[in-house]
């Protein structure tokens, strides 16, 4: 069983709308959690990183939240744009080693 589960698998929204992507993990002990954006045909690019003590972090229209107690994170996208169409990948790193666990990603499509 994957230690990082993302939902939904795919999502279609209209331009200008908001959306929230979910990430649940079982990786322990926890070190940090990153959200990556992967455009079609490209490598993933980091959006945010969150450590144990951080609850919320923003990067422009992207806001990530972390609840380390329930082992859940979310990525909220505000006022979506066509360029937000991509896969969003949640990656969790364990504290005591360099092991990074990748979620399967959420495929977001923003339509005009």
Partner 1 sequence: DAEITQSPRHKITETGRQVTLACHQTWNHNNMFWYRQDLGHGLRLIHYSYGVHDTNKGEVSDGYSVSRSNTEDLPLTLESAASSQTSVYFCASRGNQNEQFFGPGTRLTVL
What 3-state DSSP class applies to 72? strand
What 3-state DSSP class applies to 84? helix
Judged by beta carbon, residue 49 or residue 78, the one nearer partner 1 is 49
What 3-state DSSP class applies to 54? coil
- Contacts (CB under 8 A) with partner 1, residues 45-104: 45-46, 49, 89, 93, 98, 100-104
Size of the site for partner 1 (CB under 8 A): 20
CB of 52 to partner 1, least distance (A): 14
Q: Is 19 in the site for partner 1 (CB under 8 A)?
A: no
**Inter-residue contact 105 to 88 (CB < 8 Å):** yes
**Inter-residue contact 105 to 7 (CB < 8 Å):** no
Residues that bind partner 1 in the complex, under the rule CB under 8 A:
2, 4, 32, 34, 41-46, 49, 89, 93, 98, 100-105
């Amino acid at each position: 069983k994957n230690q990082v589960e993302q939902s939904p698998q795919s999502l279609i929204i209209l331009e200008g709308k908001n959306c929230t992507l979910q990430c649940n993990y079982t990786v322990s002990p926890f070190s940090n959690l990153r959200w990556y954006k992967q455009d079609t045909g490209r490598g993933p690019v980091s959006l945010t990183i969150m450590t144990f003590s951080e609850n919320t972090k923003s990067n422009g229209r992207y806001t990530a939240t972390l609840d380390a107690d329930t082992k859940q994170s979310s990525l909220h996208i505000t006022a979506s744009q066509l360029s937000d169409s991509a896969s969003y990948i949640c990656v969790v790193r364990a504290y005591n080693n360099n092991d990074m666990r990748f979620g399967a990603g959420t495929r977001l499509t923003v339509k005009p």
